[in-house]
Amino acid sequence: MVEKISGISLKTMFQHEGYGCHCAKDTVNTSPNENPTVTLKVCPDTSTQLLFSYAPKDGLNMTGIAGGIYEKNILGKLLALPKGDIDKHIDFIEKYGFLYPLPENAYTAIEANDLIDIINRIKSTIRLYSCINKKDYKGVLIHVVYLLFAPVIEFRIGDNVFSTCSHRFKWLLDSYNLFPDLSREPEVAASGTFSVDDAFLRKKNSINISFYNAVRSGSDTNLQGSKDPRFKNLMAMYIGCKDVDEETRFLIDFFYHLQTEVSVIKEVHFGGFKSYTTFSEEALDDSFKNALLKIARIVIAEEINHNIRGIHPKYSGGKLTATWQVDTLIEALYFSIFYMSNGEMYKECENPNCKRDRFFLVAATRTNKHYCCQQCRNAAGAQRYRNRQL
């Protein structure tokens, strides 16, 4: 739709109305040897009404209720939030509103780490999108692993329960531990192997029955990390999950090969993961790289679809126009990713002293676009000149 805002014709894809947020921080020190527990008490600031709109090439913007864009690139500002800095996260929600609807005239308690984890998932989804366009395979793997392996965050606000995306693969990885007894299979008796229809290889793959039984019983193997609970479940999934959808099966087979041929994943955190042996990007051959791009698209689709499932079309009889009903800020943020055209990505301004939009939306083909604005380009050039004079 096209809206007139202060005399400017702005083509917007959707709008969202919300409120600013009051936020109090409660810090409880429970033990000298433990980090303090930080709980946020959040409440909508109904005196601060906000309007957001999404426009092609500009991204998600904040506009005044009376009209006029006065702040652009909200997703870029979210990306720029310092990792783990709860005070900066508080500043963000106080200015732009809380991610989910809040009851009025009462504080709602939210764990600070939950807020950070939810925003980290948004960041990871955006960065995954950018890594696909750059064909940054290491970055793709980092963000895919985080989005699939990190714990699901769930909390209650009033009578409503909200959660981050629970991928089918993640649910199976946490719960599937059915190891069938393969000893009576004719193939096992004849060759000591068991064949699996493998979507990653696109052919049958033979599993050594001794390795399977060792993982099943928790015995030692030559694979470091084979006793890891998630790997054991993955082994069970690889053998037993025959009736899952094609995408979930592809994820199972990919991670089975990644962990048996490269390294077993040990710990997952935002921006990286640890494995039981040194993880080498060089071990990712073309088959892994091509599969990673396919998996990344699956994961992005599931993340976005989960977070925009409440959005629905709305038709205005008075204006005879069609709009989208976007009720929450988190829907608006993910809907902004939904509307990013193929080939767009967020880049980080290369001016180390950037005070503007450190992350900015740009076409992936603009490889020469290194700064968010001309001022940052000039400032970086001046700094390089001063450094040469030393």
pLDDT tens per residue across span 122-131: 999 999 998 9
Mean pLDDT of 234-258: 96
Mean pLDDT of the chain: 89
Instruction: Say if residues 69 and 63 touch (Cβ distance below 8 Å).
Output: yes
Q: What is the pLDDT at residue 189?
A: 92
Q: What is the pLDDT at residue 72?
A: 86
d(CA 194, CA 179): 13
Residue 37: CB partners within 8 Å, gap ≥ 6? 27, 28, 30, 111
Is residue 345 within a helix (H) or strand (E), and if so which, with residue range?
A: strand 344-348
Q: What is the pLDDT at residue 313?
A: 87
315's tokens: 């038709």
E-strand stretches of 133-260: 154-157, 160-163, 193-198, 203-208
170's tokens: 């993640």
pLDDT tens per residue across span 90-148: 999 999 999 999 999 899 999 999 999 999 999 999 999 989 988 999 999 999 999 99
222's tokens: 């030559």
147's tokens: 């989005």
- CA 258 to each of CA 252, 253, 305, 329: distance values in angstroms, whole numbers, following the listed order: 10, 9, 26, 36
Per-residue confidence at 190, pLDDT binned at 50, 70, 90?
very high
pLDDT tens per residue across span 193-206: 999 999 999 999 99
The rounded percent of the chain whose pLDDT value lies above 90 is 65
**Sign of the torsion formed by the C-alpha atoms of 239, 243, 244 and 245:** positive
Q: What is the pLDDT at residue 179?
A: 95
The rounded percent of the chain whose pLDDT value lies above 70 is 92
- The conformation of residue 326, written as its DSSP 8-state character, comes to B
- Nearest of 215, 263, 220, 219 to residue 238 by alpha carbon: 215
pLDDT tens per residue across span 280-336: 888 899 999 999 999 999 999 999 999 999 998 887 776 667 788 899 999 999 999
298's tokens: 């699956």
- Nearest of 80, 140, 154 to residue 289 by alpha carbon: 140
d(CA 93, CA 172): 33
Residue 11 pLDDT exceeds 60:
no
d(CA 41, CA 38): 10
- Ranges 4-8, 52-56, 157-161: which has the least confidence: 4-8
Q: What is the pLDDT at residue 12?
A: 62
Q: What is the pLDDT at residue 9?
A: 33
165's tokens: 């995306």
Q: What is the pLDDT at residue 281?
A: 83
- Nearest of 87, 82, 104 to residue 18 by alpha carbon: 104
- CA 280 to each of CA 26, 138, 148: distance values in angstroms, whole numbers, following the listed order: 42, 10, 20
Mean pLDDT of 209-223: 96
- Nearest of 7, 2, 1 to residue 66 by alpha carbon: 7
